[in-house]
Amino acid sequence: MANQSPILGVEIAGWGAALPAESLTNDELIAKTGIDSSDKWVQERTGIKSRHFISGEENILTLAIAAGDEALRMSGMGAPYNVDRTILATTTSLFKVPGTHQDILEGLPIVGGYSRPEASSKEVQTACTGFVTALLEGYRGFPVDGDEMDLIIGADTLSTIVDPEDRGTVILFADGAGAATLRRNNRRRDAGLLGWYEETDGSARPDLYCELGDAKYVQMDGREVFKRATRIMVKAGKIALERARVSIDEIDLVIPHQANIRIIDFAAERLGVKPDRVVTTIDHHGNTSSGSIPLALAETVNAGRINRGDKILLVGFGAGMTAAAAVIKW
């Protein structure tokens, strides 16, 4: 078993969320796309009642900036901002080169570092696992690089890469962004990252992928994804808990990737966590990939369900197949 050292004295100081203006119910989506389906069929198989799609001038950049700005302001900062490191997790970057992360710095704007003169940014692409991947990368910057303030964003616009005539995917995938700030707080030595787990299984790539090109759409073997996703969620969660030296009974809330309510329910049962301690927002968000977990996190905190000292398990999985889990103390 890996011998991990907790990264403490780092708190989540702010959080933010951004959703496109257009929200489509199942019936509205069916009418818009012409797919052969029904509200009952979609809800029974996915748990989704509605989702958001970008329109007009909205895109991943506008969503990421809005979520990031809210998280920074929640942290007590005002624009222009000073942030050591900004990490964007996305599957639907606006540009192949150099990505979208640098445009977020320009758009907010972030004018320099918080603990040092320079600000830096990067982009990670681990599909729906993205936000947890980026969050772990952010935490590591504190003991290694001396970070004092980081901004982590998960944002995706999956409606841009989904075939509107493919019933198996268009009902699932949606658009949205969420963000969180990490801040060093020496007065809260117990807050931070307690344990984590990351894995990639390249053999599962054919089960969920999207090729490059404007006419290329997400391809998914739903049955195989379900089988693999439930296994890897349970495995990732259990190992992260073991490395954190925390039992599932000590976890106050589990915030999983919002992929499908059946996957969430199955994995929660195998993890041994009661339903009332599992956060679900898929009914009104759909599957927003990298935006999934931070959107759920922001909504949960704003609802007063997370308090100082709570232990939270974040667990995600995505195309690749990638998986990551993090046990954090709020």
Residue carrying the six token digits 């990067």: 122
User: Residue 210 catalytic?
Assistant: no
SS3 330: coil
> Which residues does residue 85 pair with via DSSP β-bridges, in sequence order?
120, 150
101 is catalytic: no
Handedness of CA 219, 224, 227, 231 (dihedral sign): negative
From the candidates 257, 260, 284, 285, give the one annotated as an active-site residue.
257
Non-local (6+) Cβ contacts of 24 within 8 A are 32, 50, 51, 52, 53
Respond yes or no: is residue 285 known to be catalytic: no
Q: Where are the beta strands (DSSP E) in 95-227?
A: 110-112, 120-124, 149-157, 175-184, 192-200, 208-209, 219-220
DSSP string covering 32-87, please?
HH--S--HHHHHHHH--SEEEE--TT--HHHHHHHHHHHHHHHTT--SSEE-SEEE
Catalytic residue among 52, 128, 284, 285: 128
Active site residues: 128, 257, 287
